[in-house]
Structure 1
Amino acid sequence: MRILDPIPLPVDGHTTPLTPDLAPDEEPNGEPNGQLRIRNVTIPTLTPVLPEPSSRTEGGPLSPAVVIAPGGGWHKLSVESEGTWVARVLTELGIACFVLHYRLEPTPAGYDGAGWSATLASLNDPAYMDAVASRARSRGADDGAAAFALVREHAGEWGIDPERIGIMGFSAGGHTALATTCDHPEAAPAFVAGIYPVAWEGITPPQPVPPLFLAWATDDGIGRSIIDSS
């Protein structure tokens, strides 16, 4: 497995270079279980996690690939449990992975622990989260589409089959995966996976519809409401 440096994605047609003098505003946000989460992503990036050449799947020299969008309620990203850990498993199967740090709700300057706790509490407010989801949809879809463009641009360099690039996402990242698929036809993912995705508002599948996998736990209230309304 080879983990490359994060690559910045364009925002409004402009790419912000990542240099020692201009780093992303991402902030680590540790959790009691020891997993790393980050918040305040204002510059979207894509981190390639590539299999060793000897691990490539059978059927040709080129690898399939997947863009992975971690979840976190659009306020943080579970970059380990829903990002690099997933990539580690898939690269062992010969699948090239790209962990997407899509833009989040900005963390206000001077935020302290109490302010962050209050923000997390607001994640249980349906009206607040509906407003957040509405803002998040377009920027997440834009970041996802930019990720596809970047992977296809470097497909030859990274040994990837440009016709076998898909996207998967967890929770809010599942929303990003679906929004990318529905709002940016040029992304044209070969497959889509939403793992306990949220905010199922107003989606129109592209034509042709790519293979789609959706999964929720049986006691997931959000998932149950989506299934019941389908």
Structure 2
Amino acid sequence: MRKVCFIMTVIVCTSCLAQQNFTIDIWPNGAPNSNQISGEIQKETSQGRIYLTQEAKMYVFLPKYNTTGGMVIICPGGSYHFLSMENEGRRLARWLCEQGIAATVLQYRVPNKHKEVPVSDVRETFAIIKGHAAEWNIDPSKIGIMGFSAGGHLASYHSNTYTPESKPAFTILAYPVTTLFEGISHEKTRQNFLQNVNDAEEVAASSPVQLVGLQTPPTFIMVSCDDELYICSQLYQEALHRNHIPFECHVYPTGGHGWGTKDRFLYKKQWQASLLFWLNSVLNADKKHIDINHTLEN
């Protein structure tokens, strides 16, 4: 049955390739681990959220012309309880495609205290992209990861615990949770990721700010200074600085937490232009320059 499903997935993906977007099951033959969440598979809500995800999927968005050869793996946030698939996922992927950059929205399985579960989903996503790199016009050395809030924790955690096969070329963090120490972290994210919140060693080993080193990828950070979790971005920025990792950080006066791609965020055009300029540099896209003025009009 799984083999049939996998074949059907390939057929669907092939037929959709001309449309430049399609979905792939990350574990068509069964995942190597489980978050131990049972019951009916949750459907996406009208607000674009999926709660208690049990299935890992990739929503792939390929531009007609990939002007950089790059791809961004997007990890939506949601306290490791739900995934904000539209606001912090597909809407961003569509925008990146318009700029000539491929994107994948990762529907990772929430950990439910089994942190190896979403981590394995990320690693397998890198493997799948590299396996299709030539077909999708992707440069395997230009695959990066982006995360929002709890997704920012997953992205920054992976950026410091990657395998040789899944090393990101760059990291993009939007109001990320970068520490799981009590009092300065987001409590729900902490509770949902950690097996034992009272185990100091586990907390430290699961906090990206403690893991930053000389091999951490170049990083772009954006956050609002009135975000209750602003300290997470500040601490990560300081860790990058101490380890001489190239980074760029944008702090906006207002906006709070969770603005994602919402039009009501006053600085949406600013972060889009800044991110695109940074990506253009990281991906060596000067050969085929991306029109930033076009970005500001969208």
TM-score by length of 1: 0.72
How many angstroms does 1:206 deviate by?
Answer: 5.2
CA contact (8 A) 1:185 1:206 kept: no
Over 3 Å counting, the alpha-carbon distance change for 1:6 and 1:173 in structure 2 is: same
Q: Structure 1: how far apart are the matches of 2:33 and 2:54? A: 15
Query: In structure 2, what is the equivalent of residue 212 of structure 1?
Result: 219
Give the 5 Å matches for 1:106-117.
none
Identity of aligned residues (%): 33
Give the 5 Å matches for 1:110-129.
none
CA contact (8 A) 1:141 1:183 kept: no
How many angstroms does 1:12 deviate by?
Answer: 1.5
Q: Structure 2: how far apart are the matches of 1:194 and 1:141? A: 17
The residue identity in structure 2 corresponding to 1:219 is D
Query: In structure 1, what is the equivalent of residue 264 of structure 2?
Result: none
How many angstroms does 1:6 deviate by?
Answer: 3.0
CA contact (8 A) 2:66 2:137 kept: no
Q: Structure 2: how far apart are the matches of 1:76 and 1:103? A: 9
Alignment counterpart, residue 98 of structure 1, candidates 94, 99, 104: 104
Give the 5 Å matches for 1:1-230.
2-9=20-27, 11-12=31-32, 25-30=41-46, 35-52=47-64, 55-57=65-67, 63-104=69-110, 135=113, 137-186=115-164, 187-201=166-180, 202-203=207-208, 204-205=211-212, 207-224=214-231, 227=234, 230=238
Q: Structure 2: how far apart are the matches of 1:197 and 1:136? A: 20
Over 3 Å counting, the alpha-carbon distance change for 1:73 and 1:152 in structure 2 is: same
CA contact (8 A) 2:156 2:178 kept: no
Equivalences, count: 183
The residue identity in structure 1 corresponding to 2:101 is I
Could you tell me which runs of 5 or more consecutive residues in structure 2 were left unpaired when the two chains were aligned: 1-18, 35-39, 181-206, 239-298
Over 3 Å counting, the alpha-carbon distance change for 1:205 and 1:224 in structure 2 is: closer
Query: In structure 1, what is the equivalent of residue 296 of structure 2?
Result: none
How many angstroms does 1:208 deviate by?
Answer: 2.3
TM-superposition CA deviations, 1:205-227 (whole Å, max 9, x none): 35422111122101011123552
TM-superposition CA deviations, 1:173-225 (whole Å, max 9, x none): 11111122222232110000110111424331354221111221010111235
TM-superposition CA deviations, 1:44-69 (whole Å, max 9, x none): 111111111xx3216xxxx2111001
Over 3 Å counting, the alpha-carbon distance change for 1:225 and 1:83 in structure 2 is: closer
CA contact (8 A) 1:7 1:47 kept: no
Q: Structure 1: how far apart are the matches of 2:66 and 2:163? A: 28
Q: Structure 2: how far apart are the matches of 1:222 and 1:136? A: 23
Could you tell me which runs of 5 or more consecutive residues in structure 1 were left unpaired when the two chains were aligned: 15-23, 106-131
Runs of 4+ in 1 over 4 A off after TM superposition: none
The residue identity in structure 2 corresponding to 1:11 is A
Q: Structure 1: how far apart are the matches of 2:141 and 2:159? A: 15
How many angstroms does 1:27 deviate by?
Answer: 2.0
Calculate the aligned-residue CA RMSD, in Å. 2.4
SS in 2 for 1:168: strand
